[in-house]
Structure 1
Amino acid sequence: MKFWKTFDIEVIKFREGQHEIDFEIGDSFFQHFEDNEILEKGNLTTRVIMDKGVNVIELTFHIQGTVQLTCDRSLEVFDHPLDITEKMIYKYGSEEQEIDENVYMITRDTPSINVAQLIYEYILLALPAKKIHPDYRNELDDEDFDGEGGFVYFDEDQEEFEEEEDVKEEEETPKPIDPRWEQLLKLKNKEQS
């Protein structure tokens, strides 16, 4: 219980205007989240800039430091740097409820806002999908982009040109079409007409 209280911002005590609140994030922080299987250690500082207005409280989170990750490839532990800036808006209303992922409604007599869960989520969202030790990143760049799973970009003119070429080919040599593609083509043609 004491842990959670250290991440309370007692908004009711602050006057309107801008205020800065700092939080230190150490290894023990990550142990308080049950669903945590990725992070166990980290050394981060979170500066929350609170802009308190008449009808809204805007919190800007700036999180900096390192977290310890395990490489997906070598299983070696390494420090991953983080530098995150996120915003959360609290609007005054009749009840406490989440409006969307960046806006939350609170009542005027809400004494405090606990930011521990937000900080934890911002850190998790900033982690890379592939956790690769810095020693192996250059090797992985060469392997990952061998043509499979890459993105291909082309503009509409190119698409029209290719469609014209496809029509010419179909006129010359009719080929059986996969029924799934046939359904998609019908939908596409229906949209265009």
Structure 2
Amino acid sequence: MKQKEFNIPFSGLKQGKHNFNFEIDNTFFDSFGYDDFNSANIQLNVVLNKMTTIMELDFKASGYVNVNCDITSEPYDQEITSALELVVKFGEEYNDEDDEILILPHGEHQLNISQYAYEMLVLSVPQKRVHPGIEDGTLQSEVLDKLQELQPKEKRNDKEENDPRWDELKKLLTDK
């Protein structure tokens, strides 16, 4: 779904660099049917460099998304930063098969960047989401306590581990 607020009208712009700023929250991701984020607060800055025959777009995003930890399911804020460069050329027909080059038909006067922003932001979140409290040991959670409880115990002593069936086989090795 293309969101109108992410349209960049380039036809009336002079040659040179132009800044566009966007605030992205969870409604942006909901419009794409993406519900992995509990909430989002991201600032997206797009610099459009308009030249005679092409345009260059430089995307930079920073902020956070609230996600659930893969280990404990505890929600936490995951910081994200991301960047993307896109070259826009003009041709006979629309073509977005290349990730870095977009071809717009002659006569277009605006560009919708929502799909590029969406892909850039979703891919900037780590594949494995681990609460920072797990790594530094500050997170207190019932799930972590249960995982600790279910962790395999260390070997207590050798006598409990001796199995009489194996003892007989070990004698065969020493009898040689």
Give the 5 Å matches for 1:128-147: 128-138=126-136
Superimposed CA distance per residue, residues 53-92 of structure 1 (whole angstroms, 9 cap, x where no aligned partner): 1111110001011011110000000001111111111111
Trace 1:31-110 onto structure 2 (pairs within 5 A). 31-34=30-33, 36-110=34-108
Cα distance in 2 for residues equivalent to 1:137 and 1:52: 45
Number of equivalent positions: 137
Instruction: Tell me if structure 2 keeps the 8 A contact 1:31–1:40.
Output: no
Q: Distance in 2 between matches of 1:91 and 1:99?
A: 13
Match of 2:12 in 1: 13
Work out the CA distance in 1 between the residues paired with 2:57 and 2:12. Answer: 16
Q: Is 1:29 paired with 2:28?
A: yes
Residue type of the alignment partner of 2:29: F
- AA in 2 matched with 1:122: M
**Residue in structure 2 matched with residue 127 of structure 1 by the alignment:** 125
Q: CA deviation at 1:138?
A: 4.9
8 Å contact kept, 2:29–2:35: no
Letter in 2 for 1:51: N
TM-score (norm 2): 0.73
Cα deviations by residue, 1:110-131 (Å, 9 ceiling, x for unpaired): 1211111111110111111100
TM-score, structure 1 as length reference: 0.67
Equivalent position amino acid for 1:132 in 2:
V
Q: CA deviation at 1:108?
A: 3.0
My pick for the range that moved more, 93-102 or 128-137, is 93-102
CA distance in 1, matches of 2:47, 2:91: 22
Q: Work out the CA distance in 1 between the residues paired with 2:98 and 2:5.
A: 25
Which one-letter code corresponds to 2:9 in the other structure? Answer: E
2: CA distance, partners of 1:39 / 1:122: 15
Distance 1:6 1:69 in 2: 25
Report the CA distance between 1:41 and its aligned residue: 1.4
Given that 1:30 and 1:40 are in contact with CA atoms closer than 8 Å, whether structure 2 keeps it comes out as no
The runs of at least 4 aligned residues of structure 1 exceeding 3 Å deviation read none
